[in-house]
Chains A and B, each alone.
Chain A
Amino acid sequence: AQSVTQLDSQVPVFEEAPVELRCNYSSSVSVYLFWYVQYPNQGLQLLLKYLSGSTLVKGINGFEAEFNKSQTSFHLRKPSVHISDTAEYFCAVSGPSNFGNEKLTFGTGTRLTIIP
């Protein structure tokens, strides 16, 4: 079984400061990793994903994440945040599984609040 732990439920950050949102996963098989963003009263939007290849993944809106297999982590980073980055961020894991239900297993989310 797969699981995802997002270590921080809330992260306040001053505008233009850097941010890191932490994500750790556990899985007995190879994994695919995702970060989604949910703006207030909206659905989920894919920020970036790691399927294979380079461990540093760049996504939309200036975000990037690094896959670290030895530490089973996939932390999300942005060097300079803006007010518009205020949202909830979800880390998710998927991968090969029995019966083909390659579902997304989500963490509990991190609410990022940007302070002007």
Chain B
Amino acid sequence: EAQVTQNPRYLITVTGKKLTVTCSQNMNHEYMSWYRQDPGLGLRQIYYSMNVEVTDKGDVPEGYKVSRKEKRNFPLILESPSPNQTSLYFCASRTLGYGYTFGSGTRLTVV
């Protein structure tokens, strides 16, 4: 089944403790992206990747890092999480024809 898999689904952590949210797709898509969803703000792009080793900032990149060492994986790294990064995170991948596929989301709480 074609899908984008994120892990974990839920995560509670403390301020300053580094964490990684994983994202993997099995569709051989070149383009991948991370979004965060906040009430009243919709979804905003954090980072994106056009292909392996090619990444760039989206609209709200502060406090986040990404890497793209393999085509299928695009982890989101929070080096020093803060409470304002409490949010619902989505990974997405895209193929030609604008077929975006989203993961099921990761709900992160930073206390």
Contacts and interface: CB of A to CB of B under 8 A. Distances in A.
| A, B from the same assembly | yes
Size range of the chain B interface in the assembly: 20 to 34
A43 B105 contact: yes
A90 B48 contact: no
Contacts of A102: 31, 94, 98
Nearest to B44: A106
B48 to A, nearest CB: 6
A65 to B, nearest CB: 15
B42 A90 contact: yes
A43 B100 contact: no
B33 A107 contact: no
B103 A90 contact: no
A99 B43 contact: no
A100 B41 contact: no
B98 A32 contact: yes
B74 interface: no
Contact of A108 (B35, B42, B48, B98): B42
B48 A103 contact: yes
A49 B97 CA distance: 10
A99 B56 contact: yes
A42 B45 contact: no
Contact of B98 (A9, A51, A107, A109): A51
B50 interface: yes
Interface in A74-116: 90, 92, 94, 99-109
B98 A94 contact: yes
A108 B41 contact: yes
17 contacts: A4-B42, A9-B40, A42-B104, A42-B105, A43-B102, A43-B104, A43-B105, A44-B102, A51-B98, A90-B42, A100-B50, A101-B48, A101-B56, A103-B48, A104-B33, A104-B92, A109-B42
Interface of A: 4, 9, 32, 34, 36, 42-46, 49, 51, 90, 92, 94, 99-109
